[in-house]
Amino acid sequence: MNTIFTPEENCWRVEHAARAAVLVDGEAYFAALREAMLRAQHAIIIVGWDLHSEVQLLRNGESDEYPTKLGELLNALARDRPSLDIYLLNWDYAIVYALEREFFPTYKLQWRSHERVHFRLDAKHPLGASQHQKLVVIDDRIAFCGGFDLSKWRWDTRQHRIDDARRTDPDGKPYPPFHDVQMLVDAEAARALAEVAWQRWQTATGESPKTVPEYEGDPWPPGIREDFTDVQMAIARTLPALEGRQTVREVEQLYFDSIAAAQDFIYIENQYLTSAGIGDALATRLGEPDGPEIVIVMPRETGGWLEQHTMDVLRARLLRRLRDADLHDRLRVYYVSLGGEPAQAVMIHAKLMVIDDCFLRVASSNLSNRSMGMDAECDLAFGCAPGSDHVAGIRRVRRGLLAEHLDVDVEAVAAAERDHSSLIRAVESLRGNVHTLEPLAADIPEDVDAWVPDAELIDVGRAVEPEEVLDHIVGEKEQGRQAWHYLMRVALLIAAVLGLAALWRFTPLHSWLDVERMSGIARAIQDSALTPLLVPAVYVLCGILVVPMTLLIIVTVSVFGPWLGAFYALLGGELSALVTFWIGHLMGKDTVSRIAGRRVSRISDALSRRGVLVIITLRIVPVAPFSVINVVAGISDIRLRDFAIGNFVGMLPGVVAIAFLADRLVASLRDPSATSIVLLLLATVAVIAAIYGLRVWVQRKNQRRDSAG
């Protein structure tokens, strides 16, 4: 398959690499990268979808004179080597990924860094596109390329142990097992990748790339043994149309050509499978009487709730097509199961393809429409003739991956393949361990399938103008009109609630919210025969008007006393929460019901199972005004029971704390003796300790939930 590469059609260039190594999983890649950076003399350039300054590159207790955290390491290298400049280019990400990213990266990687550490955010993309290339180049002499970002949830070992204490993010929180692959090359192939990286830097920043002097010595990391020598490496790119530049779709064409050239088998590891073109190419081969076997390893489910209800739905639709096309039983799709209770799975982030052990591709591109024409991508691939010495190296890489996923040794994979003369039958014969490959069913409920729009709206395969997006949403398609109406209704509702909260805080209306004025109203209510009805009614009205809840609780306790005040505060707070939840439910969820049909609750089943803990967390650690949280919860599909329980439990410590402290404060003011003051201080400490303890408990519950997948 060394003859399938055609520059300017399915690749950019084909360049010589004296050495190439495949680095599997974060332990190997991060260690190799650090070794290489320690040998840098003039320039390090990192181009990525994400990078995190606090990520730990080494986690086995290794130490030397340089730090193990990425940001600290780069600063130390710049400080100690006057000739070294470091360039960091990070995608200026969409807000949906905010929780995955480092807060204030410009501060940490630019303002707080050495003057020769140059950090920039890359926003030079069409609407909705991203910088998805993952490149690190050292002195234009060696280069890493593949699926790995230097991000916080990437490090893992090849064993993917469920309880590995080293697999934590910079905040100390565990994350699920993670699998990825990167390739390291040198010589002309590395210099070509340097051109890709420097061109990306210039496009994003407008700054001219650095002229890198000749390197003295060999920057190849000593701990890495090459898997291949003397190979012709193809570099394939995706570049969307931008400012007069035509779309570059080399990545897509190389997938088409390599799939068409397969004879015996195609082995794929990829995060997504949603590309219509790739689906067509695979379906064609499955329909042929003598076509290749196809084995695909993917995540059981991708990312969070949003991806699972968009990209995973599109994947399920495409897999349904492929299974219908599989007339000769030559398709298997798996995920990596680790067992445990509840069962855990490995997150497959790799973008790898092996064909007939004569073709190897390590890529940044997913098998998605976005990667074919929307996002900036960069892939490496090389091929060889069936009798070439490189066949053994490619086979060793592929068998090593299967051995990792099946929890067997490489010799067991080799023996199974010899015994069965079929990749699928060999894999099936080795399945059955606790850590193993399991069939990926990819079933989706009918109502979810009906609600999720077509791939052309979710997984766009080309750069589009804003007018096109608007036209699609409000155009002729009924589904598009429904989606537009739903989005507008929800957006207007949330905007109205947030606007009310802002009015109380930032306009003259805040003068109405002083304790004295509110206490006067409360005392007037206190003298009424209808007090038990009026107090909850006031809470409901104030909830609708987004009046701060903490102020209401303080006033209620101060007027009615700690015990009755706490009772009224809890009752009123619960009723106010339920009413504003119901408003969100009517305005948002019912609209969704009309679009999706039948029981929309299945759409967010995972969220509903965790609803109590989510609401408790938001009450203890509020991230938005009380009523805003209630309305958003109503729009989502958290069950009413879970919301009611979570709201009550979450409010309880705050109300009790306010009542307890208010009682002690009043007592100390009436009798300012040493005893009363000491009791006030002790009460304050006790309340703080109780709230802190509850917050720790909630955080640990969240961590255990997250680590359980």
Q: Could you tell me which residues are beta bridge partners of residue 179?
A: 348
As to burial, measured by CB atoms within 10 angstroms (0-12 exposed, 13-18 middle, 19+ buried), residue 138 is buried
Residue 354 Cα distances to 378, 408, 416, angstroms:
17, 20, 18
Torsion of CA 363, 367, 371, 372, to 10 degrees: 110
Phi, psi of 293 (to 5 degrees): -70, 150
Residue 249 Cα distances to 2, 41, 266, 276, 278, angstroms:
20, 35, 21, 14, 13
Measure the CA–CA gap between 618 and 439, rounded to whole angstroms: 37
Q: Can you give the pLDDT at residue 397?
A: 98
As to burial, measured by CB atoms within 10 angstroms (0-12 exposed, 13-18 middle, 19+ buried), residue 55 is buried
Tokens of 324: 């219908």
Residue 152 Cα distances to 105, 174, 514, angstroms:
13, 10, 44
> Please, are residues 148 and 32 in contact by the beta-carbon 8 Å criterion?
no
542-574 pLDDT tens trace: 777 766 676 677 777 767 777 787 888 888 888
> Please, are residues 265 and 292 in contact by the beta-carbon 8 Å criterion?
yes
Contacts of 648 (CB under 8 A, 6+ apart): 570, 574
Q: Where are the domains of the chain?
A: 13-231, 239-458, 474-707
Measure the CA–CA gap between 624 and 644, rounded to whole angstroms: 18
> Please, are residues 182 and 171 in contact by the beta-carbon 8 Å criterion?
no
SS3 7: strand
Residue among 309, 286, 363 at smallest CA distance from 22: 363
As to burial, measured by CB atoms within 10 angstroms (0-12 exposed, 13-18 middle, 19+ buried), residue 576 is buried
> Please, are residues 362 and 114 in contact by the beta-carbon 8 Å criterion?
no
SS3 235: strand
Measure the CA–CA gap between 435 and 160, rounded to whole angstroms: 9
Q: Can you give the pLDDT at residue 666?
A: 47
Measure the CA–CA gap between 54 and 52, rounded to whole angstroms: 6
Tokens of 569: 């505060």
CB neighbours of residue 467 within 10 Å: 8
Q: Can you give the pLDDT at residue 24?
A: 98
Phi, psi of 575 (to 5 degrees): -65, -40
Measure the CA–CA gap between 247 and 374, rounded to whole angstroms: 9
The secondary structure of residue 512, as a DSSP letter, is G
> Please, are residues 433 and 439 in contact by the beta-carbon 8 Å criterion?
no
For domain 239-458, the CATH architecture is 2-Layer Sandwich (3.30)
Note whether 13-231 and 239-458 share their fold.
yes
Relative to beta strand 344-345, strand 347-348 is unpaired
* Entry field: residues in the chain: 709
Q: What angle do CA 209, 215, 220 make, to 5 degrees?
A: 105
Helix, strand, coil % over all residues of the chain, rounded to 5: 50, 15, 30
Tokens of 513: 């919210």
Q: Rounded to a whole number, what is the distance in angstroms from the first to the last CA of the chain?
A: 40
Q: Is the peptide bond before 342 cis (omega within 30 degrees of 0)?
A: yes
Sole residue written with tokens 């298997």? 332
Relative to beta strand 142-146, strand 135-138 is antiparallel
> Please, are residues 45 and 54 in contact by the beta-carbon 8 Å criterion?
no
Residue among 579, 523, 572 at smallest CA distance from 550: 572
Give exposure, 186-208, as e/b (b: 16+ Cβ within 10 Å).
bbbbbbbbbbbbbebbebbbeee
The H-assigned helical ranges of 407-477 are 410-420, 423-430, 446-451, 455-458, 466-474
Measure the CA–CA gap between 19 and 34, rounded to whole angstroms: 18
Mean pLDDT by 10 residues, the chain (709 residues): 90 98 98 97 95 93 92 95 94 59 60 84 84 96 97 95 94 94 98 97 89 88 96 97 89 98 98 95 97 97 72 90 96 96 93 98 96 95 93 98 98 97 97 96 73 63 56 44 44 48 49 51 63 80 71 72 80 84 64 36 39 64 62 68 79 72 51 53 56 55 51
Q: Can you give the pLDDT at residue 518?
A: 55
Which of the four CATH numbers 3.40.50.2300, 3.20.20.140, 3.40.50.300, 3.30.870.10 does domain 13-231 have? 3.30.870.10
The string of DSSP codes covering 325-344 is H-TTS-EEEEEEEEETTTTE
Residue among 163, 188, 194 at smallest CA distance from 177: 163
- Is residue 357 within a helix (H) or strand (E), and if so which, with residue range? none
> Please, are residues 4 and 383 in contact by the beta-carbon 8 Å criterion?
yes
